[in-house]
Amino acid sequence: MTTSLPDSIEDTLALLNRGNYIADRSLATTLFLALKMGRPLFLEGEAGVGKTEIAKVLSTALGRRLVRLQCYEGLDVSSAVYEWNYSRQMIEIRLAEATGNIDRENLSTDVFSKEFLIERPLLQALRSDDQGPPVLLIDELDRTDEPFEAYLLEILSDFQISIPEIGTIKAQTPPIVIITSNRTREIHDALKRRCLYHWVDYPSAERELQILTTKLPHIGAQLSAQVVAFVQGLRKQDLFKLPGVAETLDWADALTQLDKIALDGDAIDSTLGALLKYQDDIAKIRGSEAAKLLEQVKSEVIQLEASNG
Amino acid sequence: MYFARLLRAAGLAVGTGKVMDAVTAVRIIGIGSRQDFYWCLFSQFVNRYDQRELFDQAFHIFWRNPRIMEKMMGAMLPTIHVDEDSEHEKLNRRLADALEAPGVDAREERDSEQIEFDASFTFSSREVLQDIDFEAMTAAEIVEAKRAIAKLRLPIMDVPTRRFQRDERGYRVDMRSSLRAALRSADSIPLKFKKPRRRHPPLVMLCDISGSMSRYSRMFLHFMHSITNDRDRVHAFVFATRLTNITRHLRHRDIDLALDNVADAVSDWSGGTRIGACLKEFNNTWSRRVLGQGAITLILSDGLDREAAEGLGWQMERLAKSTRRLIWINPLLRYDGFEPKAAGIRAMLPYVDDFRSSHNLKSLAELTDVLSHLQPRIVGSLSRRGVAN
């Protein structure tokens, strides 16, 4: 299934909705602009707010191939762009020797031909297929070091890669590039300048509820309302790591697995590990703090129901 | 040309050839509009980005009223202060110094003096300077010390990265260059080797600018400025009651401008100290952003906390656990018989990898040694110390 690029912000929203991604309007606007202008989209935000998900949804909704480059410290050209298949090259040389057919000039062009080239994500992303140019996801860019960032800068500006033995490979149509960062390090301004920047924030209560019911359709209305209110309350607390959407979904899932239809103190205490990932955060919330928050949540939900009814 | 002399005195390298060129250039362009004239001189005298500000200020002061300048430079009145100082509050300090400098005729004489003075400074006066406490320095000594600090370079401590570079004595086969070499050589595949490339880790500096540190913090700011401009991947913060990131302000090459920027950005100079709260702020909002890739953290503080070290140990532990090395530089350590009695110091000490004094130039220089020969942290030492505490 191939879908053309969206024509308006509403289209973009609908596109993401079809992929079960509930985006807020600011994100849809930036994404729409990025697609229209052919600029990379640079997404920053806390862990677990759905940055990577955007690229995945985009690729399935548009029917494009997803090329993912997971960044890590020490990522280099041979694992990000291309590598020669050394063992095959050696065999080829050996074979040439065995047949006694050693023509140096030919051998060098033979051995360093596309046949022996292993394409890594960045090179793969330059190749379009029938569905059009792929979606290139450069995930957690902050994990690599500055030299790689500088290299990326070069690729993102011209979408071409030069391989000394073969020549320059250029993308006919540039891929849709999505870069994510968890901000464990500041990305250089030069790279940011070339991208459209969007800070992915925690969703509002209303949107989070929407996400929850979309992703976990079987969850009860009461539980989902309470879960969302509880998590929203937690995000107002002074914690080291605030729970993201991914944690909310995990937690709601955990509670349904335990056949809960409403929150209670014990259930919260025993499943808090799905929500908070730092020991001191858990120690702080567990027990009285959680009970207090729960009371608050319950009254809020009742109020909400009263106002709706 | 007096203007050229002024620039030279302010620290720009203006040779006689340059002055001649400038005169020629002005003749070609003609003294028409002020703007043309400005850019004409600019193109001649400025050749580095960081000289721009200095030139700009010098130009505007000088060409506003050259008479005053003539008087100043000609009359040998070193005590005269620049009248415009009040209206040019942001007048560059170096420029002001230059304007106050002895007049034109005394200039040559002074130059020779300068050389002598420099020579003596390299031997005896530096020796003396090295041992004087920053607190006890006179204004002139502070100026010299600042100069020495500006020359201070942090030798770059290296840690292995996961990237490789060609090295014939390396322990891994570099397949790529081996195969390329194979095509060139006659009948064998010459093996090429590679080894991990080494690189210095990021450095994060947290400087205390509270009241008790006021005498030292100026020096430390100079220190931080020279480091920031010397190497990449440095982050600088100052704190007293609030934490402020001053990395970008310090990037400015010109130290006076950089410090002006810092002064504008920081609102809690010489206030009380809330080390615990500031460290917490650092841990919560900054540590994940700047401590990536095995950073080293330097804390420049006396450890005297107004809030009686409340929650300080906790925050220190977190900081220590998320950084490669935690080094504490404390100017109080110079006093013989210094004992960590203050609650703040006692709370912080167990989590520090290295505890250093830094009240004079010598100790700052020693610090560079520490940074260049970092031993790996003993595994488990942190938790043991935590328990012992």
- Per residue, what are the HEC states of B220-280? HHHHHHHHHHHCCCEEEEEECCCEEECHHHHCCCCHHHHHHHHHHHCCCCCCCCCHHHHHH
- The 3-state DSSP class for residue B19 equals helix
Q: Please, what's the largest Cα pairwise distance for chain B?
A: 83
For chain A, give the mean pLDDT.
87
Report the pLDDT value the prediction gives residue B127, as an integer from 0 to 100: 46
The answer to whether B201 and B157 are in contact (CB under 8 A) is yes
pLDDT digits (tens, 9 = 90+) for A133-180: 899 999 999 888 888 888 888 888 888 888 888 888 898 888 999 999
Confidence of residue B136 (pLDDT cuts 50, 70, 90): low
Q: Which of A13-27, B58-72, B76-90 has the lowest mean pLDDT?
A: B76-90
How much of chain B, in percent, has pLDDT values that exceed 70? Answer: 53
Q: What is the mean pLDDT of residues A100-126?
A: 81
Residue type (1 letter), B260: D
DSSP readout, B293-320?
Answer: TT-EEEEE-----TTTTTTHHHHHHHHH
Q: How far apart are CA B384 and CA B387, in angstroms?
A: 5
Confidence of residue B139 (pLDDT cuts 50, 70, 90): low
Which tokens in the block code for residue B328?
A: 């504490």
Does B179 contact A90 at a Cβ distance shorter than 8 Å? yes
Q: How far apart are CA B103 and CA B287, in angstroms?
A: 52
Instruction: Compute the Cα dihedral for A201, A205, A206, A210 and give only its sign.
Output: positive
Strand B234-239 to B203-208 pairing = parallel
Q: Which of A273-282, B107-116, B190-199, B222-231 has the lowest mean pLDDT?
A: B107-116
Helical segments of chain A, H only? 9-18, 25-37, 51-62, 77-80, 86-98, 104-111, 121-126, 146-158, 189-194, 205-215, 221-235, 245-257, 265-271, 279-285, 288-308
Four-CA torsion B218, B222, B228, B234, nearest 10 degrees:
-30
> How far is CA A99 from its chain centroid?
51
Q: How far apart are CA A111 and CA A106, in angstroms?
A: 9
pLDDT digits (tens, 9 = 90+) for B313-367: 888 888 888 888 888 888 776 665 666 667 777 788 888 877 777 666 666 666 6
Confidence of residue A304 (pLDDT cuts 50, 70, 90): confident
Q: What's the Cα-to-Cα distance from B70 to each of B34, B54, B79, B255, rounded to whole Å?
A: 20, 19, 15, 28
For residue B21, give the H/E element and its range: helix B16-29
Which tokens in the block code for residue B251?
A: 């990037």
Confidence of residue B151 (pLDDT cuts 50, 70, 90): low
pLDDT exceeds cutoff 50 at A181: yes
Minimum Cα–Cα distance from B247: chain A residue: A186
Count Cβ atoms below 10 Å from residue B99 Cβ, excluding itself.
23
Q: Which residue among B233, B283, B289 places its CB closest to the CB of A184?
A: B289
Does A84 contact B176 at a Cβ distance shorter than 8 Å? yes
The answer to whether A214 and A23 are in contact (CB under 8 A) is no
Does B175 contact A74 at a Cβ distance shorter than 8 Å? no
CA atoms within a 13 Å half-sphere pointing along the CA-CB vector of B31: 3
The answer to whether A256 and A216 are in contact (CB under 8 A) is yes
- Residue A18's contacts (CB-CB under 8 Å, 6 or more residues apart) are A61
Confidence of residue B383 (pLDDT cuts 50, 70, 90): very low
Q: Please, what's the largest Cα pairwise distance for chain A?
A: 89
Does A240 contact B292 at a Cβ distance shorter than 8 Å? no
Q: Which of A135-139, A257-261, B107-111, B211-215 has the lowest mean pLDDT?
A: B107-111
B-chain residues near A183 (CB < 8 A): 288-289
Does B284 contact A240 at a Cβ distance shorter than 8 Å? yes
Question: What is the distance in angstroms between the Cα of B301 and the nearest Cα belonging to chain A?
Answer: 24
pLDDT exceeds cutoff 70 at B86: no
Does A145 contact B189 at a Cβ distance shorter than 8 Å? no
pLDDT exceeds cutoff 50 at B84: no
Report the pLDDT value the prediction gives residue B90, as an integer from 0 to 100: 45
How much of chain B, in percent, has pLDDT values that exceed 90? Answer: 0
pLDDT digits (tens, 9 = 90+) for B285-297: 888 778 877 888 8
Report the pLDDT value the prediction gives residue B112, as an integer from 0 to 100: 38
Question: What is the distance in angstroms between the Cα of A181 and the nearest Cα belonging to chain B?
Answer: 10
Minimum Cα–Cα distance from A164: chain B residue: B180
Name the β-bridge partners of B238: B207, B244
Crossing angle for the helix pair A245-257 and A221-235, to the nearest 10 degrees: 140
Q: Which of A284-293, B37-46, B80-89, B366-375 has the lowest mean pLDDT?
A: B80-89
Count Cβ atoms below 10 Å from residue A239 Cβ, excluding itself.
17
Please enumerate residues of A whose Cβ is less than 8 A from a Cβ of B.
73-74, 76, 78, 84, 86, 89-90, 93, 104, 107-108, 111, 142-143, 145-147, 182-186, 240, 280
Q: Which residue among A73, A86, A183 places its CB closest to the CB of B293?
A: A73
Name the β-bridge partners of A118: A83
Please tell me which of A73-82, B135-144, B156-165 the model is most confident about, judged by mean pLDDT: A73-82
Q: Given CB atoms, is B183 within the 8 Å cutoff of chain A?
A: yes
Count Cβ atoms below 10 Å from residue A130 Cβ, excluding itself.
7
Instruction: Compute the Cα dihedral for A94, A99, A103, A107 and give only its sign.
Output: negative
Report the pLDDT value the prediction gives residue B126, as an integer from 0 to 100: 46
The answer to whether A110 and A184 are in contact (CB under 8 A) is no
Report the pLDDT value the prediction gives residue B285, as an integer from 0 to 100: 82
A-chain residues near B318 (CB < 8 A): 240
pLDDT digits (tens, 9 = 90+) for A189-209: 888 888 889 988 899 999 999
Name the β-bridge partners of A129: A132
B-chain residues near A86 (CB < 8 A): 175-176, 179
Q: How far apart are CA B198 and CA B195, in angstroms?
A: 9
Closest CA relative to residue A83, chosen from B191, B161, B174: B174
How much of chain A, in percent, has pLDDT values that exceed 70? Answer: 97
Closest CA relative to residue B269, chosen from B208, B210, B221, B207: B210
Minimum Cα–Cα distance from B288: chain A residue: A184
Count Cβ atoms below 10 Å from residue A60 Cβ, excluding itself.
17
The answer to whether A304 and A224 are in contact (CB under 8 A) is no
pLDDT exceeds cutoff 70 at B135: no
Report the pLDDT value the prediction gives residue B115, as an integer from 0 to 100: 35
pLDDT digits (tens, 9 = 90+) for A68-91: 999 988 888 888 999 888 888 888
Q: Which of A7-11, A276-280, B96-100, B151-155 has the lowest mean pLDDT?
A: B96-100
For chain B, give the mean pLDDT.
68
For residue B54, give the H/E element and its range: helix B52-64
Count Cβ atoms below 10 Å from residue A139 Cβ, excluding itself.
19
pLDDT digits (tens, 9 = 90+) for A204-237: 999 999 999 999 988 888 899 999 999 999 998 8
Report the pLDDT value the prediction gives residue A252, as an integer from 0 to 100: 93
Does A84 contact B179 at a Cβ distance shorter than 8 Å? yes
Count Cβ atoms below 10 Å from residue B48 Cβ, excluding itself.
9
Q: How far apart are CA B295 and CA B285, in angstroms?
A: 16
pLDDT exceeds cutoff 60 at B267: yes
Report field, pTM of the whole predicted structure over 0.80: no
Q: What is the mean pLDDT of residues A9-17?
A: 90
For residue B328, give the H/E element and its range: strand B325-329
Confidence of residue A309 (pLDDT cuts 50, 70, 90): low
Report the pLDDT value the prediction gives residue A210, as an integer from 0 to 100: 92
A53: left (phi > 0), else alpha (psi -120 to 50), else beta? alpha
Name the β-bridge partners of B166: B194
